[in-house]
Amino acid sequence: MRIATWNVNSVKQRIPRLLPWLDQRQPDVVCLQETKLSDDAFAELLGDELDRRGYAIAAHGEAQWNGVAVLSRAGLDDIVAGIADAPGFPLPEARAVSATCGGIKVHSVYAPNGRVPDSDHYHYKLAWLAALREMVREGPEATIVCGDMNIAPTDADVFDPDAYVGQTHVTPPERDALAQLQAVGLRDVVRDRWPTERVFTYWDYRAGMFHQDLGMRIDLVLATTTVADRVRAAWVDRHARKGSRPSDHAPVIVDLDEAPDGDIGPVVPPPSAPAARRGTVRLPQSR
């Protein structure tokens, strides 16, 4: 089974890239984030194309913002939209959907951004992650959580820790919230397989960040041991971030039981630029 997760940053804008990517990579299960479509609009826009490719759809969306989906050609049962007892801001947002696919409970999640440390939105992010943790804790033994967590787990997951001082995504409370989620029995399968490699999944559109490979790893695949022990390859499809009108995120692909492309490395293709020297680059929002 090939499972992928991708923050597409508007599925409507990304159709010219999403459909060919599905044909190229042939994932069995796809978790999408930032679909930015209501459920009816999602089905109207993509239903026929996905049906032709054999995918059933579990979508939980809203117009303009947020939105998540699970696409599966490995079965789609026990669909749950949202997270019980999750906070809203102020109302509940479309940030999580789960379903059972091929015997695995699959969660597609889009964590709140947090905006500014210690802001109301930041505390909402922490409370939302706590609600996700409790939902996953109650789940089955075979579980996988895929999505944009809006947290870089460690300093090794950003191109330069000095550039992120005072920013969200790297603060101790956020990382602790992520660690508590993992503590219910989830393993970071990319880091399991590539513990020391330079791996990013997100690059800001501004200032040529992608072309300089100045990114961060915030799109994660977290799996229980039952699932993680089946991983044969785990990699970032960096090619999907290239070219015309890309998302600012690249897909993360995980192969279970067998690897159609082989165990091909953490990032495909390799980064187009060497690592920047620490302390020499500022984030675009800091300028």
- The tens-digit pLDDT sequence of the chain (287 residues) is 999 999 999 999 999 999 999 999 999 999 999 999 999 999 999 999 999 999 999 999 999 999 999 999 999 999 999 999 999 999 999 999 999 999 999 999 999 999 999 999 999 999 999 999 999 999 999 999 999 999 999 999 999 999 999 999 999 999 999 999 999 999 999 999 999 999 999 999 999 999 999 999 999 999 999 999 999 999 999 999 999 999 999 999 999 999 999 999 999 988 877 777 888 888 887 66
Residue 273 DSSP SS3: coil
Q: Residue 123's closest CA among 171, 81, 166?
A: 171
d(CA 229, CA 165) in angstroms, rounded, equals 36
Q: How far is CA 180 from CA 23, 71, 114, 139, 148, in A?
A: 36, 28, 17, 16, 17
pLDDT score for 270: 80
Quote the CA–CA distance of 62 and 105 in Å, as a whole number.
23
Q: Which pLDDT score, from 0 to 100, does residue 282 have?
A: 82
Q: Is the distance from CB of 53 to CB of 28 less than 8 angstroms?
A: no
Residues 6+ apart with CB under 8 A from 30: 3, 4, 5, 6, 22, 55, 69, 70, 71, 72
Cis peptide leading into 112, omega within 30 of 0?
no
Beta bridge partners of 143: 105
Predicted confidence at residue 287, as pLDDT, reads 62
Q: What are phi and psi of 237, to 5 degrees?
A: -85, 80
Residue with token string 């091929």: 102
Whether the Cβ atoms of residue 106 and residue 144 lie closer than 8 Å to each other: yes
Determine the pLDDT at residue 274. 78
Q: How far apart are CA 250 and CA 248, in angstroms?
A: 7
Token pair, residue 85, equals 């007892």
Residue 83 to residue 49: CA distance in whole angstroms: 29
Separation in Å, CA 267 to CA 200, 207, 252? 8, 22, 9
Nearest to 193 by CA among 155, 158, 232, 159: 232
Report the C-alpha gap between 142 and 124 in whole angstroms.
Answer: 28
pLDDT at 202: 98
What is the reported pLDDT for 119?
97
Nearest alpha-carbon partner for 153 in 167, 137, 169: 169
Task: Look at residue 220 in the predicted model and tell me its pLDDT.
Answer: 98
pLDDT, residue 273, reads 77
pLDDT at 145: 98
The average confidence (pLDDT) of the chain is: 96
Q: Can you count the helices (H) and strands (E) in the chain?
A: 6, 13
pLDDT score recorded for residue 285: 75
If you ran DSSP here, which 8-state letter would residue 145 be given? E
The span from the CA of 175 to the CA of 178, in Å, is 5
